[in-house]
Amino acid sequence: MSESFKYDGQKGHGGEVHQTPEAADQIMTTAQGCPVHDDQNSLKAGKHGPTLLEDHIMREKIFHFDHERIPERVVHARGYGAHGYFETYDNFSDLTCADLFQRKGEQTPVFTRFSTVAGNMGSPDVARDVRGFAVKFYTKEGNWDLVGNNIPVFFIQDAMKFPDLIHAAKQEPDRGFPQAQTAHDNFWDFASLSPESVHMLMWAMSDRAIPRSYRFMEGFGVHTFKFVNSAGEEKYVKFHWKPKSGLQSVVWNEALKINGADPDFHRRDLWNAIESGDYPEWELGVQVFDQSFADQFEFDVFDSTKLIPEEQVPVQKIGKMVLNRMVDNFFAETEQVAFCTQNIVPGIDFTPDPLLQGRNFSYLDTQTKRLGGPNFTHIPINAPQCPMRHFQQDGHMAMHNPKGRVNYEPNSWPRDEYNPRACPAHGYKSSSEAIEGDKLRYRSETFADHYSQALQFYKSQTPVEQLHIQDAFVFELSKVQTPAIRERVVSHLLNVDEALAKGVAEGLGLTTLPQKAEAAMETRTDLKPSDALSIIKNAPESFKGRKLGIFCCDGADDDVLESLINSIRAEGAMVEIVAPTIYGITTRDGKRIEGQQKIDGGPSVLYDAVALVLAKEKADEVAAIPQAKDFVTDAHAHSKFIIYNEEAMPLIKEANLEDKMDAGYLSTLKADSDAIVRQLRALRFWER
């Protein structure tokens, strides 16, 4: 660029712009690179005249704005992603020849996207919903997409039913609501007519569907896949992501209030964690088993409505994923990333799971539709980070085509990097499998048990979690207007657990129980509970990564605040100061502490535990603030630990909680801050 086009930001007489060499990288240009003189005013015929058609700068700007949006995903539209790496723990060549598992300590770049399933892009984060957990591994032998959920089973067994499931779960087409929730007639009508969904319904009504954070939830590959080693030996495998920070969810009333206070709660949590250097980590585990196990297992391992309990096939940890970098641009990366279950690498293969087979067909169509054509792999977030050599060419938005004269195969031209050949020795080979049978539409009789694992899941929960499941069924079904649909759901629950069914029926006000739904196979009662299926049983033994909200006011005790903040940070947790105003407070010793939240914008639902550090001279004034009372009463109702100093008692009394104080109230007079933090590691005081 010549110096005459370089802008120093200063205007001379008559509005002309002086240029300097130093500011070359600051000049605004059009998409064609033309420097822009004025980005605020359109070109007019006279000071008050009409806009001229020749204003190519405005035309380009408006044109691009008009075309900014691409079709949102039909499902998993509400998502958030981050970059990181996967590090393998050892050489696992005995299990698989997949390149990323061959060398101990090797790091493979990844991009991970978390999402809700049913809600649109603008829906709230903490809706009751399944969460997508999709990881793109940029391996040396191509991209591997492990596209899963935070729940190990699914609603349906065959992909033929997927459009119906999603149509039923989305907002009803005549009225366009409700969004991001299944509490309506269409979904429960479909579910009540699909007994195969019952196991998944138990998970969806559990606390798994309202996670506290992406960082504190598990991920699952859902389907059974295959590992194949270099000798051609095959094993079946199920994939698990285990969060190193442990499992944690919110309670339903809390979720409702979080969505009002911060609909971006999960996004903000992931952003803040990574930006602060508290990088989330998950360990990748595999359940590996052979055909003999599959033959003797109680259920069909290709049935996506079933899981394999970890007590029967332990999860072997083979590596860890660390997310350590947020995207540079949300649209370019998180919104344009294209996951496809068909994207696998040598050493990994599919199984006959009919839901997986349908996903392999569907995802490529979906990404082609969303991203405008077959060249979505040219978008940087989707491009492999290993060499690509093929004869695919042209199409919409082709960023690069093969070089040279050769664009077909076989050909007789010399072989080079622009004239590749298939490699029988190292190329991808599908595992061999003998298949024989008639062509027919059929559901295997081995898929017919719809209730036994639903009962196993329910028995595996703590009493608190079982109550939450019951309450969730009551809440959802209370939004269903058709009595027959509500009764059909209860009829299915009678095949799971009679006490659960009766509790739901009572919550709905049913005077008589319906007949038990006809079952293709009788519910097994001999399946043992699995502790791995419970969140509370797998809670962390640390407060690390959690957040304490400290509500304080002018005159607060410096020693109490400093000690508490230091102990929380030493634990690896976060602190936010909530104050009567966003200005913050001035402590007893005159120290100014800036507020991160104003009390009416920082409710206790945003925190894992709360502290009340008030001053005697301000206690009555603070106790009169309605939002301050809500701060305490919500924390109490949600079974959170409440730290308090004696000066906070007027607020506790004003909230009518003095007689309800229990061992979940932690006095700063009775224990030092380190001892208090040790109690916070339990996360909730469920005894309340």
Helices (H), 246-289: 252-261, 265-275
Q: Which residue has the tokens 């506290």?
A: 212
- Segment holding 501, helix H or strand E: helix 498-508
User: Across the strands, what pairs with 665?
Assistant: 642
- Sign of the CA dihedral with 323 first, then 327, 330, and 335 last: negative
Give the number of other CB atoms < 10 A from CB of residue 588: 17
**CB distance 308 to 235 below 8 Å:** no
Distances (CA, A) of 276 to 130, 233, 269, 270, 448: 28, 45, 11, 10, 49
406, with CB counted inside 10 A (0-12, 13-18, 19+), is middle
User: Across the strands, what pairs with 236?
Assistant: 226, 289
E-assigned strand segments in 161-218: none
609/599 Cα distance (integer angstroms): 15
**CB distance 589 to 560 below 8 Å:** no
The residues, any chain, with a CB within 8 Å of residue 213's CB and separated by 6 or more, are 248, 266, 269, 270, 545
For residue 184, the SS3 value is coil
Distances (CA, A) of 34 to 2, 21, 24, 31, 52: 12, 17, 13, 7, 19
The residues, any chain, with a CB within 8 Å of residue 52's CB and separated by 6 or more, are 42, 43, 44, 45
Report the candidate in 592, 675, 579 with the shortest Cα–Cα distance to residue 631. 579
- Is 538 assigned a catalytic role? no
- Sign of the CA dihedral with 296 first, then 302, 303, and 309 last: positive
For residue 457, the SS3 value is helix
306/299 Cα distance (integer angstroms): 7
101/105 Cα distance (integer angstroms): 9
225/228 Cα distance (integer angstroms): 10
161/167 Cα distance (integer angstroms): 10
Q: Compute the C-alpha angle 602/604/609, nearest 5°.
A: 125
Distances (CA, A) of 189 to 500, 577, 617: 20, 46, 59
Among 18, 83, 143, 149, the one annotated catalytic: 149
Among 76, 199, 223, 240, the one annotated catalytic: 76
Report the candidate in 524, 452, 467 with the shortest Cα–Cα distance to residue 499. 467
- Is 645 assigned a catalytic role? no
32/56 Cα distance (integer angstroms): 11
Question: Which tokens hold the place of 437?
Answer: 């049978």
**CB distance 114 to 79 below 8 Å:** yes
**Which amino acid, one-letter code, is at 529?**
P
Write out the catalytic residue numbers: 76, 149
